[in-house]
Structure 1
Amino acid sequence: MSDHPFYFTWTAQLKALRIEIEKSRDCYYLTTEGRKLYDLSSTSYQAAFGHSFSPIKKAIQSQLNSLPISSPKGVFELKQRATQKLIEYLNIPGKIFYTVSGAESIENALKMARQISGKEIILARKNSYHGASLGALSVTGDWRTKDHKSLSKWTKRIPDPQVDPNAEKLAQLIEKIGAQKIAAICLETFIGGNGVISAPLSWWRGLAKLKKKYGFFIILDEVVCGFGRTGKPFGFHHLPIKPDFICMAKIITGGYIPFGAVWTSKEIASYYKSNTLSCGLTNYAHPLGLSAMESVIDSLKTTQLKEQIKELSHGLETYKEKFELIGVVNEVRVIGTLMAIDLKKNIPFQRFIDEDILVALVGQRIIIAPPFTMRPSILKKLLKRIEGLLKEDSHE
């Protein structure tokens, strides 16, 4: 096995999974063997428009020929127009701060929440992932945070909502810590790679009451679940909650350009009218990112893509029932075009590669997140392959 002059992420380098890629087309990769390797995880959940979506490519190419780079302080038509479209798509008035990744979106939301409140503590779930930078890792609860010295001393883990359906234990924790120390609570609307899980609606209602009583901010992480993945524009559109910050990335450009954003409420925007916003990035509101984002939003509003997403969601729901009947399967959860299959044992990743399928495989859990542009008939064919694979393992 040849060595490479670059790192592979989230792994010991000698154990790294290597996928040789020549070029990509539509919803799948072409490997060096000339095989179609179908992307059932949208790469890292971002490639929701496959790997060669003409509208996004054309938007970026056109922008390259007009305004390929701009100062963070620049004011231009695309910036105004695309930002307004994003706010309308969110369907909640506010103001946008741009980033180039999900971790940076979380970082800047945390900075603003602490700056405005003058408080330090952030509440967060144990079962969570919010990004790889130190601030984002500090509110992350899964295995990725354990080897790093982060700001975790300022993070307090809340009782899991599954065992606290009315947020009563959360209320007790807030009283114990002292509301005067708590800046915000940071939450994924629907947990993505860690299980496709949301809190009960009763918990979200309880959280809304606690926010009203104690005045802390709510930071919602929509990096995985934003831009149509859950069947609605954003995960919070399913929930009885009013956020102060909404963190976005991944599908915001379909993965074609690194990009992210933080929506802030009118109250947050009002604070920064006369107080210094000490946040900024070299590639803030990059024109290529804005052009890709605008194309994504325009595409998601089309009747054709809306119907396609509905069909894909229906396909996953149909196979949910089939997967649940297989012996090796413990539990299956689906929200929109996001599926988690919990297994009773590990299945090697190579088994899926042998079936020409890329999935997200985390321990004994399969996560499926097909591109929105995948034909429902192709999804059905691939799910049938996974069904056969799982049945084989049930008999071993």
Structure 2
Amino acid sequence: MNGYPFYLTWSKQKGGLTYPLDSVDDHFIYSNKEKKLDLSSISYQASFGLRPNFIEKAISDQLNNFSIVAPKAIFDLKEKVTKDLLKLIDLDGGKIFYTVSGAESVENALKMARIYTGKKKVLARKPSYHGGTLGAVSVTGDWRNQNVDTLDQWTIRIPEPEDDLDLSQTSKIFETNNDLAAIILETVPGNNGVLIPTKEWLQGIQKLCHKHNVLLILDEVICGFYRLGTPFGFQSFDVKPDMITMAKGITGGVIPFGAVWTNDKIHEHFNDKILSCGLTNYAHPLGLAALEAVLAHIEQASFKDHLASLLSEFKKDLEGLSQKTRVIGALAAIDLKDAPSWNTFWDEGISLIAQKDRIILAPHLNLPIDIWKESFNKLEKLLV
């Protein structure tokens, strides 16, 4: 027993990595009275810091109005926020299905895709993570797929971009499987190494989807809401997905929330057919209030100006390292032969994602540049 009355996620229960939490402020975690800079955005979600007052206030204000509604209730906040989200996505229409997590967003996207197409199989990459629920972990390809029973009979792995530059092998997979409903891809796989595809590769996948009537689902749970420097990651690659999954930055992590966007053809399919998807906390008003605050905040010139400056410094500093790095927006991986342990960075006042052969950085989008510079100097010394 680990001594706690609750489970630890994604780990052995005995000896799992934990830390005592005292409190947080805008960008720092306080543990045993020591402060640690959060350079992971708490699993890529705290895009606006650890105490985003504008989101907290929006939730508080909504609590003073109403805090629980039926899934089919129609109210001004629900309509306004959804229209604003569609405007940010900027893909000529479509419709939103709300969830409370990234895994649920993926789960419902897969379900909709299978219902819409009448087909079952889904293509996916090996280095990927799409969530821990049954459908989501079945298309996940990393280690989290290994110790559970999954729907592997409905999942087909495609070659990695560097192994199939002209997409000839991937094309054969499309051609020889007549039961393909969709392909699901993280626009940029984040926790599996910030694997940035070329525009040509992703656009080639889209062409194959169009040719074979296969839906393109882009998982933007990490990449969305300016994590990659654009409102959504796909906008950096000039592609137009059929479905988009969202969570994490959608509320800055302050309250659980998520969403799925579908194109017009998909949502029109359900005009006269039952959409067999739903959840008790669908379009929860507190989540909508948080999303409304996020959408307003990211339209402010001050946010965009600061983000541009931060991303410039972030990229310049990291690409100046001797180690191999991959940087896009406010997301970066640094490859290392033997990465220092998570505790090594923690002891120096930095919280980040440390893996066996790399570290991953995902700073708050509003992180002051002087704080980034100070932390980068520490990182540089630790990586020597």
Identify the residue that residue 108 of structure 2 maps to in structure 1.
108
For 1:30-179, list aligned pairs within 5 A: 30-31=30-31, 33-92=32-91, 93-176=93-176, 178=177
Q: How does 1:232-247 map to 2 (within 5 A)?
A: 232-247=230-245
Matches of 2:355 and 2:5, distance apart in 1: 26
Counting only pairs closer than 5 Å after superposition, residues 216-255 of structure 1 correspond to structure 2 as: 216-255=214-253
Structure-1 residue corresponding to 2:298: 300
**Structure-2 residue corresponding to 1:188:** 186
* SS of the residue 2:259 aligns to: strand
What is the DSSP-based 3-state SS (H/G/I as helix, E as strand, rest coil) of the residue aligned with 2:288? Answer: helix
Q: How many angstroms apart in 1 are the aligned matches of 2:18 and 2:43?
A: 15
Native 8 Å contact 1:165 1:200 kept in 2: no
Residues 1:215 and 2:208 are matched in the alignment: no
| RMSD of aligned alpha carbons | 1.2
Query: Residue 5 of structure 2 aligns with which residue?
Result: 5
Q: Counterpart amino acid of 1:132? A: G
Aligned: 1:350 with 2:380 = no
* Amino acid aligned to 1:98: Y
Aligned pair 1:379/2:372, yes or no? yes
SS in structure 1 of the partner of residue 22 of structure 2: strand
Q: Say if 1:162 and 1:199, in contact at 8 Å, map to a contact too.
A: no
Q: CA deviation at 1:173?
A: 1.5
User: Which runs of 5 or more structure 1 residues have no equivalent in the other structure?
Assistant: 392-396
Deviation at residue 113 of structure 1 after TM alignment: 0.5
Cα deviation, residue 165, structure 1 = 2.3
Q: Which residue of 2 aligns with 1:335?
A: 328
d(CA) in 2 for partners of 1:225, 1:81: 23
- TM normalised by structure 2 equals 0.98
Contact preservation (8 Å) 1:100, 1:261: yes
The reply to whether residue 317 of structure 1 matches residue 310 of structure 2 is: no
Note the residue ranges of structure 2 that are not aligned, 5 or more in a row.
none
Look up the equivalent residue of 1:289 and give its one-letter code. Answer: G
Q: 2:227·2:330 contact (CA, 8 Å) conserved in 1? A: yes
Paired amino acid for 1:12: K
Alignment correspondent of 1:26? 26
What amino acid is aligned across from residue 285 of structure 2 in structure 1? Answer: P
Distance 2:298 2:221 in 1: 16
Cα distance in 2 for partners of 1:240, 1:38 equals 34
Inter-partner Cα distance in structure 2 for 1:202 and 1:372: 28
Q: Is the 8 A contact 2:2 2:15 kept in 1?
A: no
Task: Specify the alignment match of 1:394 in structure 2.
Answer: none
Aligned residue number for residue 360 of structure 1: 353
> What do residues 60-98 of structure 1 show as CA deviations (whole Å, max 9, x unaligned)?
000000011110011011000111111001111210000
When normalised by structure 1's length, the TM-score is 0.95
* Distance in structure 2 (CA, Å) of the matches to 1:19 and 1:313: 29
Q: CA deviation at 1:2?
A: 7.0
